[in-house]
Structure 1
Amino acid sequence: MEPIDLYTSTGVKFWRHPEQMHSFLNKKGKTVISTHISPTGRCNLNCEYCSVSKRGPVEEISLGVIKTYISELLTRGLKAVILTGGGEPTLYNQFAEIVDYIREQGLGLGLITNGTAGKNFSNMDWVRISVNYDTINTLLKSTYVFDLGTTIGLSMVYSGKNKQISYIRLNELMDKLGAEYLRVLPNCLPQELDEAHEQIDRWIQDGTTYKGFAERVIHQHKQHRTPPLASCLQSYFRPYLSEYEGGTVFPCDSVVLNNHLSRFDKKYSICPAHKVGDYLDGRILPKFAPFNDCQGCVFYNNNMMLYRFTHGVHEFHKHQDLIKHENFI
């Protein structure tokens, strides 16, 4: 199994969940494997490449709404939760309470963080820390709390000032944290993606002279491609709960890339958090069509894989062995 399949959403892990896949095929509504939750829009940074840089006034989701949402998804097959943003999730006032509640339900838990606010990352299956030029010194000086066995990874957008971060500093940070990987991806501007990916390949190649660097780097080749579908099939497996309007379900986090929105737009909202079950049962239909509205989609391959599954094509037989973090799709 390639590292990119373990630590990013390539679609491979879907085949480890036949119950959800067949529920999807038979329209039974028990399709959810994992969900992303953005509890707050508050952030202590102002990154130049932020995908939600045009978000409105800071909003948050109450703990009660989050619990209701998770409780409903537990009846729909939910196995894992990823806390993300939005903003910086560890700034949420009841962050510890969310973590405790998720763990009490027996769910897997991952965290995407900038690593400069909260420092206690215990009780996580994995933590991915975003690295940038303005924070790497803070990350190197900070002391973090991780459980034994927690998978630690880093993520960096290869853009702007981040290109000035030295291989030595990145290696030092990976060694300090015991990071298993550094995911590198370009800023999500479709007109510049091909050149950006070429730059990343050259950057990684130049880094091979630094012992232990290149072999830990994952170059995620994100591309924007519009799925020729009337609905987002992936949304039934990994819905995204945004802080928008106090808790709104979206199909994914890449809707902010459509038409350079840089925010979660009501057009792409599916339903309030407490009605997610109605969506999964087909009683609520989305207000957008990917073939017409999702020019910024980075989950084209996943959606087309699911479409082919509805037409009899599957890969269950190829993935019978346990996959690391397989509940995080």
Structure 2
Amino acid sequence: MAPTRQMSRPEESTLDLGEFTLKYRGDALPQPELLVIGKRSGRHKAVHTFVNILDNDGNLVRQAAITPDIASFIFGSFEVRGSTEAFNIYESDLVVGKWSPRTRTNVSPDLVRHQRTIAEQSFTATGGKLAHHWPIFQKLKETGFGSIIRATLTLHQLCSSNCPFCSTILRNKRDSVSLTEAQAFVSTLYNEQAALNRNEFVRYNEEYRRLTGTDIRLKGLILSGGGQPNLWPHFSEFVRWLGELDLDVGLITNGFPPKIAEDVYERFKWVRLSITPESASPFYPDGRFDRQYIPASLRHNDSLTVGLSYVYGPWTDDDMLKRLDASAHENGFRYVRLLTDCNLTRQAQLKAHQDLADRLFRLGFIDEVGKPLSRIFHQLKYHGSQREAEELWSDGQCKLQSYNVFWDTTGHEENGYSHCYPCDSVTVLADEQGETDISVSERRFNADKWGTVKSTEVHRLFTEPLQPFFDPRDICASCLFMNNNRAVSDLVKRASYGDMNLDTSLEHLNFP
């Protein structure tokens, strides 16, 4: 369908294009807003208030509010550049009022001021913890069967925020699962999988018990995904039920509904609070993230790990970074994880990482080589390349699905079931063969493209030999988990496992 524009007055305009409707509100307070609204039934929206202005080499010059002229420029380039790249604008293009393609300067990850720390490896999935589960990879090597030791559940698709970097903006608000379905899913991975390994894979199971103290089964479960898990009506009952299992449970949320009893959060091994751009979260008191309600059970609690997570982008100023660090100190939180917008293509993402690292250095949060000097750490997470994909996946098989499963509820309302995926980041895969050939992120879970098994058939991931449900070389070349895939590949290729050198300084080993 051809784009249509409707103008009501100079400071307000709309544009219908593909999956999205763009709406500019120049008189919005306290900042003009450009809304990216998904056309699917959820009608979720991303709120943008600033853009990055770049020089001809793609370096950040400044961050600018979205004026009517900038909004018009975005409308004109949105179809070609996509829902994320369109908000990175070259200053010379803005002067002439028209976007022009150019050759982008390549950025090597080695040029980013960064040092991987114990915190980054403990509190994020870098692949560093997989060696602590080596018997399941010996089992995979010698039998061809996977072992699902980690899972993530979305439960439903509700969220109170309108983040510009939302990875599932095209989701359906009515896609939700029942308590019975959630419990059955976990029981399959916990009880049925353990029984199978005790009976059918005795040698590997005994070795795993010696190493970890349990049968080969689900070890770590994360409640996360397409919305706030703690808005799900069965959240408290489910968490209390999980507390009866010998299972490490993590929570990723961007807020804490007051109706949830504070003791519920004590059932978690760790909690990560996602801090959104303040203009994107209507529940922040006075528009300030550091004035939101945080359960007393999470503040200064040494029995569980609590951290903050923040996505850096044109909505970020120095004050925000300072308040993030201060909030972690004031609440007794272990860390602040910073990363860039994963919807960006690889080179734009690495440029953003450079900008972030330079700003953190200037503010005194990291030293000249990227070592953290406070509670902030910078996660250097970026897309892979086609060359890496061809080398890593010569067999056409994603390695993550040998130990990890992500259950998203997309399609549940229509089908009565939904699908599993090898990871939670397929929705943000973005690739580029130059600025005029950009494969933009899908920003929704597409089972026909990345799905593995139905949620009602998760047992197939450990009762059947590992199989390639899709060829990642074709649709996942920009994978964000190349390191994890590489770690699995290296573990499977080992000639022996008796000389494993395990890093005992790492935490949260059941969330590899």
1:8 positional shift: 0.7
Q: Which runs of 5+ in 1 are unaligned?
A: none
Higher relative contact order (CA 8 A, sep 6+): 1
Aligned-partner SS, 2:136: helix
Residue of structure 2 in register with 1:225 after alignment: 384
Q: Distance in 1 between matches of 2:480 and 2:184?
A: 29
Does residue 324 of structure 1 match 2:324? no
Q: Which runs of 5+ in 2 are unaligned?
A: 1-116, 194-216, 279-283, 367-371, 413-417, 430-438
Residue of structure 2 in register with 1:281 after alignment: 463
1:9 positional shift: 0.7
TM-score after normalising by structure 1? 0.91
Checking the alignment, whether the CA contact within 8 Å between 1:38 and 1:83 is kept in structure 2 is yes
Checking the alignment, whether the CA contact within 8 Å between 1:115 and 1:139 is kept in structure 2 is no
- The amino acid that maps onto 2:236 is A
TM-score after normalising by structure 2? 0.60
Deviations 1:201-252 (A, max 9, x none): 1121122179xx8421111111111533212111121110111233421110
Does residue 80 of structure 1 match 2:235? no
- The amino acid that maps onto 1:236 is S
Distance 1:28 1:195, change over 3 A: closer
Checking the alignment, whether the CA contact within 8 Å between 2:154 and 2:226 is kept in structure 1 is yes
1:164 positional shift: 5.4
Checking the alignment, whether the CA contact within 8 Å between 1:129 and 1:153 is kept in structure 2 is yes
Residue of structure 1 in register with 2:490 after alignment: 308
Aligned-partner SS, 2:456: helix
Q: Distance in 2 between matches of 1:299 and 1:36?
A: 15
Does residue 108 of structure 1 match 2:248? yes
Residue of structure 1 in register with 2:425 after alignment: 254
Q: Distance in 2 between matches of 1:132 and 1:110?
A: 19
Q: Distance in 1 between matches of 2:357 and 2:465?
A: 46
Checking the alignment, whether the CA contact within 8 Å between 1:133 and 1:162 is kept in structure 2 is yes
Q: 1:198 aligns with which of 354, 363, 367?
A: 354
Residue of structure 1 in register with 2:235 after alignment: 95
1:305 positional shift: 1.9
Does residue 244 of structure 1 match 2:426? no
Checking the alignment, whether the CA contact within 8 Å between 2:130 and 2:488 is kept in structure 1 is no
Residue of structure 2 in register with 1:55 after alignment: 171
Deviations 1:39-87 (A, max 9, x none): 1111111111111122234311221111111111114311110110111
State the superposition RMSD in angstroms. 2.4
Q: Distance in 2 between matches of 1:236 and 1:273?
A: 16
Q: Distance in 2 between matches of 1:264 and 1:292?
A: 17
Q: Distance in 2 between matches of 1:129 and 1:314?
A: 40
Checking the alignment, whether the CA contact within 8 Å between 1:38 and 1:89 is kept in structure 2 is yes
Distance 1:138 1:199, change over 3 A: closer
- The amino acid that maps onto 1:300 is M
1:302 positional shift: 1.1
Checking the alignment, whether the CA contact within 8 Å between 2:219 and 2:247 is kept in structure 1 is yes
1:141 positional shift: 4.0
Deviations 1:122-161 (A, max 9, x none): 2111111111231472443424122541101110000132
1:313 positional shift: 6.3
Residue of structure 2 in register with 1:172 after alignment: 326
Q: Distance in 1 between matches of 2:226 and 2:173?
A: 12
The structure with the largest alpha-carbon Rg is 2
Residue of structure 2 in register with 1:140 after alignment: 291
Q: Distance in 1 between matches of 2:375 and 2:289?
A: 22
Checking the alignment, whether the CA contact within 8 Å between 2:311 and 2:339 is kept in structure 1 is yes
Checking the alignment, whether the CA contact within 8 Å between 1:27 and 1:281 is kept in structure 2 is no
Identity across aligned pairs (percent)? 26
Structure 1, 220-229 or 23-32: larger mean CA deviation: 23-32
Distance 1:170 1:22, change over 3 A: same
Q: Distance in 2 between matches of 1:116 and 1:139?
A: 13
Does residue 45 of structure 1 match 2:226? no
